[in-house]
Amino acid sequence: MSNKNLIVKLNEIKSLVEECLIALSNGHSPESKHSTKHQTKKGITPSGDYILEIVNKIKNCQEAEKIETEILDKNTLLGRVLLPFYICYKYFPEQGLTTGDVEKITDQLRTRVKIPNVSNAVAGPLWKYLAGDSSRVKGKVVVYKLNRKGATFFESLLNAKQ
């Protein structure tokens, strides 16, 4: 097993242990002297750990089966782009994402959407569902978050068969 795979597996185990500890402590997160998450003022962690956490949450959340059948198994660009934003909206409300983050997350889910396609979707049909921290300028990173209208739209994509 390569070092990269080993690190990924250990991070998965770490997140499962943290979830179990939170569940055992009646919803209160245990305090630790050695915290690995450091937040910046825009809600982005400096390391790529948040991407792994989002991917794990997508695979293990309550809607995982619906996400698999209605979003990942279908060839819909809008659903695949909105998926990471929806997970952040629901489970990590302080976390914002860039178009590069969306590419990394979809790549981990084996349904990669490249940055130019994510950017075109964000600037086009998804602009009314996302809020950016600044205006779009070439070469400047914009951190996006899903708004309530976007969450409702994504839930309608998840519940398309009902």
Q: Are residues 117 and 84 in the same domain?
A: yes
The answer to the question of residue 57 being in a domain is yes
The answer to the question of residue 151 being in a domain is yes
pLDDT at 22 over 70: yes
- pLDDT for res 153: 94
The answer to the question of residue 160 being in a domain is yes
3-class DSSP state of 126 = coil
What pTM value is reported for the model? 0.69
User: What is the rounded average pLDDT of the residues 15-39?
Assistant: 60
The answer to the question of residue 93 being in a domain is yes
Domain count, the chain: 2
AA identity, residue 111: T
Q: Are residues 75 and 26 in the same domain?
A: no
Q: What is the pLDDT of residues 46-56, one digit of tens each?
A: 446 899 999 99
Residues 6+ apart with CB under 8 A from 135: 142
What's the pLDDT band for 82 if we cut at 50, 70, 90? very high
* Tokens, residue 26: 């009646």
- pLDDT for res 162: 65
User: What is the rounded average pLDDT of the residues 88-99?
Assistant: 93
Q: Helix/strand/coil (H, E, C) string of 36-97?
A: CCCCCCCCCCCCCHHHHHHHHHHHHCCCHHHHHHHHHCCCCHHHHHHHHHHHHHHHCCCCCE
CA neighbours closer than 13 Å in the CB half-sphere of residue 58: 27
The answer to the question of residue 42 being in a domain is no
What's the pLDDT band for 28 if we cut at 50, 70, 90? low
Owning domain of residue 87: 49-162
CA distances from 82 to 45, 61, 93, 128 (A): 20, 16, 15, 12
The answer to the question of residue 41 being in a domain is no
The answer to the question of residue 44 being in a domain is no
Q: Are residues 23 and 72 in the same domain?
A: no
Q: Are residues 3 and 65 in the same domain?
A: no
Q: Give CA–CA dist 50/56, Å, rounded.
A: 10
The angle formed by the CA atoms of residues 15, 18 and 20, to the nearest 5 degrees, is 110
Per the prediction, the chain carries an average pLDDT of 83
The answer to the question of residue 39 being in a domain is no
Q: Are residues 53 and 30 in the same domain?
A: no
pLDDT at 43 over 70: no
Q: What is the pLDDT of residues 100-156, one digit of tens each?
A: 999 999 999 999 999 999 999 999 999 999 998 888 788 888 999 999 999 999 999
- pLDDT for res 29: 47
